[in-house]
Amino acid sequence: MSENEQGSSTIYYDVPQAIVRRGSRFGLIWLIPIVAALVGIGLAVKAIIQAGPTITITFKSAEGLEAGKTRIKYKDVEIGKVESIRLSEDLAHVTVIAKMVKETEDYLTADTRFWVVRARLAAGEVSGLGTLFSGAFIAMDPGQPGKTSRDFTGLERPPVVSMDTPGSYYYLRAADLGSLEIGSPVYYRQIKVGQVVSYDMTDDGSAVIIRIFIQAPDDRRVRENTRFWDAGGLNVTVDTKGININTGSLVALLIGGIAFETPMNLAPGEEAKPDHTFILYSNRDQIEEPVYTSKLYFITYFDESVRGLVKGAPVEFRGIKIGQVLDVRLEFDQQKLVFRTPVLMAIEPERITSTGERHLQSDQLITKLISKGLCAQLRTGVLLTGQLYISLSMQHKAPPKEVTYAGPYPIIPAIPGATEEITTGLANFINRLEKLPVEEIGGDLSVSLKQIKKLVDSEQTAAALTALGQTLTQLQQFSATLNTQTAPQMSAILDQLHLTVDQAQKTLIAAQNMTDSRAPLAYDLQQMMQELAKAGRAVSVLADYLQRHPEALIYGKGAPPP
Top-confidence range, 149-158, 429-438, 493-502, 521-530: 149-158
* pLDDT on residue 345: 92
* pLDDT on residue 118: 82
For residues 440, 445, 451 and 456, what is the CA-based torsion angle, rounded to 10 degrees?
-170
* pLDDT on residue 489: 67
- pTM of the predicted model as reported, rounded to 2 decimal places: 0.51
* pLDDT on residue 18: 62
pLDDT tens, residue by residue, 71-96:
999 988 999 999 999 998 888 899 99
Mean pLDDT of 158-179: 87
Say how far apart CA 499 and CA 361 lie, in whole Å.
Answer: 93
Structure confidence at residue 296 as a pLDDT band (50, 70, 90): confident
What single string gives the DSSP state of each residue in 252-319? Answer: HHHH--EEEE--TTS---PBPPTT-EEEEESSHHHHTSPP----EEEEEEE-S--TT--TT-EEEETT
Examine residue 217 and say whether the peptide bond preceding it is cis (omega within 30 degrees of 0). yes
Structure confidence at residue 170 as a pLDDT band (50, 70, 90): very high
The three-class DSSP label of residue 502 is helix
Contact criterion met (CB below 8 Å) for 139 and 115? yes
Domain definitions of the chain by residue range: 167-287, 296-353+361-424, 470-555
Interior angle at CA 199, CA 194 and CA 205, nearest 5: 145
Contact criterion met (CB below 8 Å) for 325 and 309? yes
pLDDT tens, residue by residue, 498-530:
776 677 667 666 655 555 555 555 566 566 667
Say how far apart CA 192 and CA 23 lie, in whole Å.
Answer: 86
Q: Which helix (H) or strand (E) holds 48?
A: helix 31-50
For residues 149, 154, 157 and 158, what is the CA-based torsion angle, rounded to 10 degrees?
30
Contact criterion met (CB below 8 Å) for 276 and 171? yes
Say how far apart CA 385 and CA 382 lie, in whole Å.
Answer: 6
